[in-house]
Structure 1
């Protein structure tokens, strides 16, 4: 009996990683909670990958790096499609000290190199690493998590030595695509599940930095496509989230303010009242 998606995601969140072989039927896009997990995929076949405002045509063996905060889609174009995938959270990888966030890596950031073309000798070497990870995943070795981290690091270091793919083109409607990426990235910041995990991207500048574009370019593009500013979209989504938290949790106002990225509760109160005409406490009273 196959497991449900929720069971799969719960197991993945508990372990912090999952590595598996891609089925030959072309199922290269196994479902998972992309908000939490990075992806490294070694595949052989023909496909088209849309990543941020670029599209990549891939034929042969490639190594793909997926950032959970950046929307992408994958079209499998060939009937025979094989390879390996590992999903892992940044928390899993940073259980041991790292020098920088994965989102700053040239392999994972939007303006970086998410696709690498792989030669046959490189494919055989990378295959062996994935096979070892699968074997360790199924073992009872006490320190297998550390070993998996080392294997991931080895893939990352080997990948940084390789030449990125030049086989891509800018999307014909770059403005629409960048706007879609921004809106999906915005939506992926929610819901806020705990006051201990506050909102990370709070301003237009935060989003522009994450998307590796200048904030003025992002603002101009989003306004052109949606007739709303970047800051308006962000404020509206924060207000919607604030209302949901006020109505469906018992978090106090200070916790809500911190969770939504406000340094002080008074800043949150003023922001909320400016956009709704009500105080946060009055909205909370409505649920009683």
Structure 2
């Protein structure tokens, strides 16, 4: 795993803001929290809860007056969530519903200590130099999400749209894997053995966005990450992402973000 694929931090300050723009955030809130604010909507009475937040969401956690930790924020990138050890978990079905209702999972009584122990072990391992620590971290993440699935009923978040939900989930999984090669909806429709029209119909019904926007979202997410955290030139990044030229990459990026790649890199 890359060094920035997983990051964990405790909720210890009066206000904890989102730190990693391109990562999913798992907010485990134990106690002593006034509220969590997501896209300017305030949620109260959230003790002993888990929020699963997509990179598009803006959020912050506000504590009550206390010096003790009241939970953890676990940041995960797509590479981790797509790992074979985690890819079949229901938490990955939740990922496709990032445009709708915020997934909130209430933990059952007695699970809090187990949840805290798992997150503390992940935190400890991330700061260590032990052999096979990546395998240990993935195993702990798997255990954590299995607890979420069993105790928080994650399955209920993925609605019963039947085959259309499966189409969208498979489409997003393919985009995660092949976005460097394929930028057009038609390529993914062909891989799924369906028409582009039906693929777009499924995405519109399940996520209320065009299928093309899923590809654009992935390209922008990976572009931002490469521009901020790699030493590659903009030309190298553009070709890595499958663009035909650096000029077209710059046009694409500025058209969708309002700033140029070089401006983001220097910000």
Q: What TM bracket, shorter-length normalisation?
A: 0.5 to 0.7
In the other structure, the counterpart of 2:57 is 71
SS at match of 1:60: coil
Q: Deviations over 1:69-128 (max 9, x none)?
A: x32323526334611122122213444455459884226733466211234411111011
- Superposition deviation, residue 29 in structure 1: 2.4
Q: Which stretch shifts more, 91-100 or 133-142?
A: 91-100
Match of 2:143 among 154, 164, 178: 154
In the other structure, the counterpart of 1:140 is 129
In structure 2, the CA distance between the partners of 1:101 and 1:163, relative to structure 1 (3 Å rule), is closer
In structure 2, the CA distance between the partners of 1:59 and 1:39, relative to structure 1 (3 Å rule), is closer
Q: Which stretch shifts more, 119-128 or 12-21?
A: 12-21
- Superposition deviation, residue 197 in structure 1: 3.3
In the other structure, the counterpart of 2:172 is none
In the other structure, the counterpart of 1:62 is 49
Question: Which structure's CA Rg is the greater one?
Answer: 1
Distance in 1 between the 2:115 and 2:79 partners?
Answer: 24
In structure 2, the CA distance between the partners of 1:214 and 1:139, relative to structure 1 (3 Å rule), is closer
How many residue pairs match? The answer is: 193
SS at match of 1:106: helix
Distance in 2 between the 1:207 and 1:74 partners?
Answer: 34
Tell me the TM-score normalised to structure 1 length. 0.50
Gaps of 5+ in 1: 1-11, 166-194, 219-229, 242-247, 273-288
Q: Does 1:41 align with 2:27?
A: yes
Q: Deviations over 1:219-250 (max 9, x none)?
A: xxxxxxxxxxx99xx8xxx9xx9xxxxxx638
SS at match of 1:76: strand
Q: State how 1:121-140 maps to structure 2 within 5 Å.
A: 121-140=110-129
Match of 2:38 among 43, 46, 50: 50
Q: Does 1:88 align with 2:76?
A: yes
Task: Assess if the C-alpha contact under 8 Å between 2:15 and 2:60 holds in 1.
Answer: no
Gaps of 5+ in 2: 155-177, 187-196, 224-233, 253-267
Q: Does 1:213 align with 2:171?
A: no
- Superposition deviation, residue 28 in structure 1: 2.7
Task: Assess if the C-alpha contact under 8 Å between 2:24 and 2:54 holds in 1.
Answer: yes
Match of 2:97 among 101, 104, 109: 109
Tell me the TM-score normalised to structure 2 length. 0.53
Distance in 2 between the 1:84 and 1:112 partners?
Answer: 22
Q: State how 1:1-288 maps to structure 2 within 5 Å.
A: 14-23=3-12, 25-32=13-20, 34-35=21-22, 37-43=23-29, 44=31, 45-50=33-38, 56-68=43-55, 70-76=56-62, 78-80=64-66, 82-96=70-84, 99=87, 104-106=92-94, 109-110=97-98, 111=100, 114-163=103-152, 197=180, 209=203, 212-215=206-209, 249=235, 259=242
Backbone CA RMSD of aligned residues: 4.8
